[in-house]
């Protein structure tokens, strides 16, 4: 069965860095884009970043652009999120999520069909 397992969360001071990982199993990892979605305590879901199946293309939410970097290793079936210059507002549970669907003609029909259990990142002095 499909499994996504995040790790690397913890408490970090503002301005410092942290790297999250996501280990995948149960599907052909190299065939799918994978996303990071976060949820601040008591708040809703916020999309963070995506990396294409081959790792060539990455896209980021404006709130993290220039500070976060997403990468993947298809041989190890792992995804990473390097978070730099962390701020208090980055405090959240971070989920990795597998995408399903397609893009065509400049439009996309993409949903997140499997999610990990999440890892908590707390940015605090």
Partner 1 sequence: SYVLTQPPSVSVAPGQTARITCGGNNIGTKSVHWYQQRPGQAPVLVVYDDTDRPSGIPERFSGSNSVNTATLTITRVEAGDEADYYCQVWDKSSDHVFGGGTKLTVL
Residue 98 CB, nearest approach to partner 1 (Å): 10
- Go through the chain and tell me how many residues it has: 125
Residue 13 CB, nearest approach to partner 1 (Å): 27
Listed residue (118, 24, 108, 115) closest to 72, CA to CA: 24
Residue 9 CB, nearest approach to partner 1 (Å): 14
Listed residue (83, 103, 1, 73) closest to 36, CA to CA: 83
Q: Which residues bind partner 1 (CB under 8 A)?
A: 35, 37, 44-47, 50, 59, 61, 95, 100-101, 106-113, 115-118
Both tokens of residue 68? 């976060």
CB-nearer residue toward partner 1: 14 or 101: 101
3 state SS of 98:
strand
CB-nearer residue toward partner 1: 62 or 75: 62
């Amino acid at each position: 069965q499909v499994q996504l397992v995040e790790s690397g969360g913890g408490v970090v001071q503002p301005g410092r860095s942290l790297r999250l990982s996501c280990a995948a199993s149960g599907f052909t990892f190299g065939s799918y884009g994978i996303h990071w979605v976060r949820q601040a305590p008591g708040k809703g879901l916020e999309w963070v970043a995506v990396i294409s199946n081959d790792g060539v293309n990455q896209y980021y939410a404006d709130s993290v652009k220039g500070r976060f970097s997403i990468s993947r290793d298809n041989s190890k079936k792992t995804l990473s999120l390097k978070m730099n210059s962390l701020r208090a507002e980055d405090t959240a549970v971070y989920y990795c999520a597998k995408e399903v669907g397609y893009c065509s003609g400049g439009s996309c029909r993409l949903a997140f069909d499997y999610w990990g259990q999440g890892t908590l990142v707390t940015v605090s002095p």
